[in-house]
Amino acid sequence: MGTFGVGLFDSDGAQDLLDDLAALSSAERVLAVTSTLSGVVTGSLTWNREVFPDEVVALAGLVAASLPGGRSLKGKAKTSLPTPGPDLIGMAVEALALASDFWMRAWVHAADAAEARENLNDLRRVLLAPA
């Protein structure tokens, strides 16, 4: 049984993914994040087999942590990216939109759902903030 929390990086799957990314060079990390987010956006990755909603939320959080408005996320992400360009930010926004409904279905308790929704809203604000 996996552990899930309402934070962007608070699941076993997200933590495992971040650990895997931390072991890569900066360039490999960007390539891996870009590849996964692109696969979500294009539909070439299968939900709950090749990619999970909590992983996509964590990847979007990692992108946001690399932006000026996401500094509070930086320590929670366990790794970092160089400042992302508009294409990667756009992919993160689009992939997050696709994953959000799946991720929100995980919350049984109203208080958890409300906190998770607020975390997603905060994440979107960082990703959509003007550069």
Count Cα atoms within 13 angstroms, Cβ side, for 26. Answer: 6
pLDDT at 1 over 60: no
Q: pTM for this structure?
A: 0.94
Q: What pLDDT, on the 0 to 100 scale, is given for residue 71?
A: 87
Cα Rg of the chain, angstroms: 13
Angle at 22 between CA 48 and CA 60, to 5 degrees: 50
**How many C-beta neighbours within 10 Å does residue 123 have?**
23
Query: What confidence category does residue 3 fall into, taking pLDDT thresholds of 50, 70 and 90?
Result: low
Q: What pLDDT, on the 0 to 100 scale, is given for residue 19?
A: 95
pLDDT tens column, 23-56? 999 999 999 999 999 999 999 999 999 999 999 9
pLDDT tens column, 56-108? 999 999 999 999 999 888 878 889 999 999 999 999 999 999 999 998 998 88
